[in-house]
Amino acid sequence: MKIRFTKMQGAGNDFVVLDETQGRLGLTPAHYRLLADRHFGVGADQILTVRPSPGDGIDFEYVIHNADGGEVEQCGNGARCFARYVHDKGLSAKDTIRVQTLAGVIAPRLTPDGRVTVDMGRPVFDAARVPFDAAGLTPVPQGSGQKWPLALSGSAQDAPVLVAVVSMGNPHAVQLVEDVDTAPVAQTGPLIESHPRFPRRVNAGYLQIVDRSHVRLRVFERGAGETLACGSGACAAVAAGIRLGLLDAQVDVQTRGGLLTIAWAGADTDPVFMTGPATPVFEGQIELPDTP
């Protein structure tokens, strides 16, 4: 089957965007994997699909598949590209749209400077204390009562690593590092991603605090590997830093692919706002085999 797509990127996190507002394409996980493949397909971190409104004042359904073909709850950089796409394609004349994801409703807004601000909803801190088993990362005995963040260490002689487990609809395990450039992302990212502590797997964030309003972040993403930027990961990391008393209410997040600005007032009921770029790269069409 021949399908049309739009290639987009937000801070270097790149996407294939598909339009199912006129009907379903009938794609399978194998099709999503092929579209994301950087040698045999188009190449992308995630595949984003635009579907019609499910009703209830919602403008669109926003469907997200990781490069491994799995459908997931949230994608922040993708939400900005989604809003840019529906505007540029004339699918909506609104500056602010409400879109339904598996994680709930989020509200991207096109801003006059060309960036997009997204109400990403509330962060949820995982207070459950579930011991890590020995999958390369083992728990460090903690003081009584400390439920969050979880502590773990790579081995007996390593310094304990504090991991904050935060959901932005999708799961994140964020740790503080001295320098993101030397953080063991390739070594421990896959271990954390597939750690039994996270039955749905998890996105592994590595957060370097520069000062109270500037941080650097790398993320080994669930189902995609390290990406140049992770929007929901930036929201989770900043919310964790604010909750730990280390960051102010608005923070610039420098990722390898660009700058995101995250704001959170700090109460569990407050939404996290993310602002950043959303850039179309090219239009294309691809012939997909019926059974890849």
Ligand X SMILES: N[C@H](CCC[C@H](N)C(=O)O)C(=O)O
Q: Which residues are annotated as a binding site?
A: 13, 46, 66, 76-77, 170, 203, 221-222, 231-232
Residues 168-187 that bind ligand X (CB under 6 A): 170
Per CB under 6 A, the list member of 41, 108, 231, 276 interacting with ligand X is 231
Residues 251-290 that bind ligand X (CB under 6 A): none
Is 235 one of the catalytic residues?
no
167 binds ligand X per the rule CB under 6 A: no
Query: Which structure tokens are listed for 81?
Result: 């590209």
Nearest to 215 by CA among 187, 175, 188: 175
108 binds ligand X per the rule CB under 6 A: no
CB of 9: closest distance to ligand X in angstroms?
Answer: 11
13 binds ligand X per the rule CB under 6 A: yes
Question: Dihedral (C-alpha) 208, 145, 236, 101: value to the nearest 10 degrees?
Answer: 160
12 phi and psi angles, rounded to 5 deg: 85, -10
**Pairs from 289-292 (Cβ < 8 Å, separation ≥ 24):** 289/34, 290/1, 291/30, 292/28, 292/30, 292/31, 292/33, 292/34
Q: Which of 67, 97, 204, 230 is catalytic?
A: 230
Question: Is residue 148 exposed (0-12), middle (13-18) or buried (19+ Cβ within 10 Å)?
Answer: middle
CB of 135: closest distance to ligand X in angstroms?
Answer: 19
Question: Is residue 153 exposed (0-12), middle (13-18) or buried (19+ Cβ within 10 Å)?
Answer: middle
Per CB under 6 A, the list member of 222, 228, 247, 278 interacting with ligand X is 222
> What is the spatial distance between Cα 255 and Cα 233, in angstroms, rounded to a whole number?
11
Is 75 one of the catalytic residues?
yes
Fill in the amino acid letter for 186.
A
Q: Which is nearer to ligand X, 149 or 223 (CB)?
A: 223
Q: Which residues are annotated as a binding site for substrate?
A: 13, 46, 66, 76-77, 170, 203, 221-222, 231-232
Which of the residues are catalytic?
A: 75, 230
Positions in the binding site for ligand X (CB under 6 A):
13, 45-46, 66, 72, 74-78, 170, 203, 221-224, 227, 230-233
